[in-house]
Structure 1
Amino acid sequence: MSESIAYPPAGATARDRTHTLFAQTMWYVALTAGLFALGAYLGRDLVGGVGIVAFIAAFASLIGMQFAVRKSLNLTVGLLAAFGLLMGLATAPTLAYYASADPQALWQAGGATALFIGGFGAAGYATRRDLTAIARIGSWALVALVVFGIVLIFVQIPGGALIYSILGLVIFAGLTMVDFQRLRQSTDINSAPLMAASIFLDILNVFLFFLQLFSRREA
């Protein structure tokens, strides 16, 4: 890793450090996405139980990053890499199912996700309005969405899956804007792996919501 990227010169302006943070974070997002794709490929024949174990391990890696960031940047990046690979393994059975049953939905969801993240990310990065309130509302709304998803497992609600996906996209539109605004406002280079993990989770969740929508449309 280039020292000029990881550690800007001492005399660099706040704008320089922000631009460096943006570039570094996007590099980490790309790295995580690449390892996610590798994990999804390697785990394409895994059974669901292994995917659950991989998801728990990925969550543990994410928690570990919160502590490692205060001690070692290299350790934090290593945990981020493990997180991406494990998330790929965790979602591999789902992606493999869609690849065999409805491959067109995968491409449509991927394209829609790129436009969604690009649009709302740019809006969040450019806006001068404080999005702190959206962050609080989005966090609680996400908890409510998880509860709603659990209810759907046990209770048949007409159009429940469609409602769940649309609400999820609305919530992550706000959270994506918040994450990109934080990226513009911060100048702490060491926060790049954590920001990358947050943005990657935005991308992954949006992709999965779109995947549900497009697969339902084709049904």
Structure 2
Amino acid sequence: MDHTFAYRPAALAARDRGHALFAQTMGYVAATTGLFALGAFLGRNLPGVIAFVAYLAAFGALIGMQFTVRRSRDKTIALLAAFGLLMGVAVAPTLVYYARTDPQALWQAGAATALFVAAFGAAGYATRRDLTVLARFCFWALVALLLFGIVLIFVNIPYGSLVYSVLGLVIFAGFIMFDFQRLRRSSDVESAPLLAASIFLDILNVFLFFLRIFRGGNR
């Protein structure tokens, strides 16, 4: 028996599952982004305390997805939808602020985010090198960046905001590459909502970092 022919159907099936995972994941990312926009619209006039509560609830939904992903696909998708909507409400005050003070920065940040994610997403999807170590490094770098952000609240460091944003972009470039590599390597369609949530968070953070950069540049 020619084992080549026995291997080909399995390889084709794995490739088909990979394509299905990619299509579903990016579909979920698009839907989550749409719900984020809806949440931002609904929350544009809400007080800041509501935005903070929505932020906490959004991450509660994200944590809940970890428990439902193997139990109920419908619940996981519902939690992903709630996550996108609640994150929109949470970020609404920030978007309203930029829309009123520097609307050009919103468009610039949006365009830059699209190019940034496309470039590093393609690089991560295409690379054969295991990026797990890079993801671990980026995680600890993100923790350090958060601590640096706390320092900036109390200490005036020249160009501190710009440095913070550029470092954030470098860190999330690594996360984007890692997440898109996971998207290529996995064939588990059930993981699509979790991958979509991770990629959406990458995109959102990149967008917010670019907002800070372009806001400073347009002053």
- TM-score normalized by structure 2? 0.94
Following TM superposition, by how much is the alpha carbon of 1:48 offset from its aligned partner in structure 2, in angstroms?
A: 1.4
Q: What letter matches 2:38 in structure 1? A: L
Aligned runs of 1:147-186 on 2, under 5 Å?
Answer: 147-186=147-186
Following TM superposition, by how much is the alpha carbon of 1:160 offset from its aligned partner in structure 2, in angstroms?
A: 0.8
Partner Cα separation in structure 2 for residue 89 and residue 202 of structure 1: 18
Q: What letter matches 1:188 in structure 2? A: D
Distance 1:174 1:11, change over 3 A: closer
Structure 1: stretches of 5+ with no match in the other structure: 1-9
Following TM superposition, by how much is the alpha carbon of 1:153 offset from its aligned partner in structure 2, in angstroms?
A: 1.2
Q: What is the count of residue pairs matched by the alignment?
A: 210
Partner Cα separation in structure 2 for residue 185 and residue 110 of structure 1: 28
Following TM superposition, by how much is the alpha carbon of 1:118 offset from its aligned partner in structure 2, in angstroms?
A: 0.3
Partner Cα separation in structure 1 for residue 19 and residue 138 of structure 2: 26
Which residue in 2 is equivalent to 1:96? 96
Which residue in 2 is equivalent to 1:114? 114
- Could you list the per-position Cα deviations for residues 167-197 of structure 1 after superposition, in whole angstroms to 9, with x for gaps in the alignment? 0000000110000000000000000000000
SS in structure 1 at match of 2:157? coil
Q: What letter matches 1:143 in structure 2? A: V
Q: What letter matches 1:105 in structure 2? A: A
Partner Cα separation in structure 1 for residue 149 and residue 28 of structure 2: 30
Partner Cα separation in structure 2 for residue 68 and residue 149 of structure 1: 33
Partner Cα separation in structure 2 for residue 116 and residue 190 of structure 1: 27
Moved over 2 A (4+): none
What CA RMSD, in Å, does the superposition of the two structures yield over aligned residues? 1.1
- Could you list the per-position Cα deviations for residues 4-37 of structure 1 after superposition, in whole angstroms to 9, with x for gaps in the alignment? xxxxxx9961111111100000000001000000
- Could you list the per-position Cα deviations for residues 108-152 of structure 1 after superposition, in whole angstroms to 9, with x for gaps in the alignment? 000000000000000000011111110110011111111111111
Partner Cα separation in structure 1 for residue 60 and residue 195 of structure 2: 17
Which residue in 1 is equivalent to 2:80? 80
Which residue in 1 is equivalent to 2:17? 17
Structure 2: stretches of 5+ with no match in the other structure: 1-9
Following TM superposition, by how much is the alpha carbon of 1:218 offset from its aligned partner in structure 2, in angstroms?
A: 0.5
Aligned runs of 1:44-83 on 2, under 5 Å?
Answer: 44-83=44-83
Partner Cα separation in structure 1 for residue 157 and residue 189 of structure 2: 46
Partner Cα separation in structure 2 for residue 202 and residue 47 of structure 1: 26
Partner Cα separation in structure 2 for residue 212 and residue 11 of structure 1: 45
Partner Cα separation in structure 2 for residue 150 and residue 68 of structure 1: 34
Partner Cα separation in structure 1 for residue 106 and residue 20 of structure 2: 33
Partner Cα separation in structure 1 for residue 100 and residue 206 of structure 2: 21
SS in structure 2 at match of 1:13? helix
SS in structure 2 at match of 1:88? helix
- TM-score normalized by structure 1? 0.94
Partner Cα separation in structure 2 for residue 181 and residue 138 of structure 1: 15
Partner Cα separation in structure 1 for residue 12 and residue 72 of structure 2: 23
Which residue in 2 is equivalent to 1:133? 133
SS in structure 1 at match of 2:46? coil
Partner Cα separation in structure 2 for residue 166 and residue 48 of structure 1: 27
